[in-house]
Amino acid sequence: MANQDDSFIREVNEELRSDRMKDAWRRFGRYLIALAVLLVVGTAGWRGYEYWQAREAAQSGDVFLTALNQIDAGNLDAAEETLAQLEAEGHGSYPVLAELRSATLLSEAGDTAAAVSAFSSIGKDRSVPEAIRDAAKLRAGWLLVDTGTYAQVSAEVEALANDGNPFRFSAREILGLSAYGHQDYDRAQQWFEEIANDPEAPRNALNRAQILLEVMAADGEIQDAG
């Protein structure tokens, strides 16, 4: 008898669950279907957008390669036009790569002020990846070593000279060279010693820093090269 009662109760529970499911489907089924359609359409739309982005970036890559070939061939006017087009209409990372290459062309043509301005502008553009911004700041800093004041150089690269920054050695070398060029030997010593005392300093940067410290010490411009 108990088994029959248990069986009856299970059947009643299953029937109740079935009725509740039917009722829930009648009430919410159309919403669930709409949600499922939205998910499918949204996924398809996102995949389509990704495909479009990849295709456009590939086309921009072809345009960038055209500009590089034009530069190699010495057709600089055409290259500048191609790069300008890419800056305005390109996709992916190619617009900023075009900006960097255009700035380099300005530098190679001897228009240092315009090149510095271009690199500095890239360095301040928050839409550009940080590593590229920092590289642009370094390029501006290197150009300013021979043409700008220490304050101008510092404005571009001193923030990169902090401990832990992957560009710190280049930034410190730029700052040291700028200070040395302006006969600010104490400050030059400070920057070169920061390179020399950093156990992670690359060999080339370390050698250059040590040589300049020795030169300043030999010329009596600093008291201690260590």
How far apart CA 99 and CA 159 sit, in angstroms, is 22
pLDDT at residue 178 in the model: 97
Cβ atoms 79, 105 nearer than 8 A: yes
Mark 29-39 as b/e (b = at least 16 C-beta within 10 Å).
Answer: eeeeeeeeeee
pLDDT at residue 47 in the model: 54
Q: Say which amino acid occupies 36.
A: A
pLDDT at residue 123 in the model: 94
* Domain extents in the chain: 10-109
Torsion of CA 18, 24, 28, 30, to 10 degrees: 30
How far apart CA 58 and CA 91 sit, in angstroms, is 8
pLDDT at residue 16 in the model: 46
How far apart CA 222 and CA 186 sit, in angstroms, is 7
Handedness of CA 117, 120, 126, 132 (dihedral sign): positive
Tens of pLDDT, residue by residue over 147-205, are 999 999 999 999 999 999 999 999 999 999 999 999 999 999 999 999 999 999 999 99
Low-confidence stretches of the chain (pLDDT beneath 50): 1-2, 8-9, 12, 16, 46, 49-52, 225-226
Please tell me the pTM assigned to this model.
Answer: 0.71
How many residues appear in the chain?
226
- How far CA 90 is from CA of 54, 96, 106, 132, 215, in Å, comes to 12, 9, 20, 17, 49
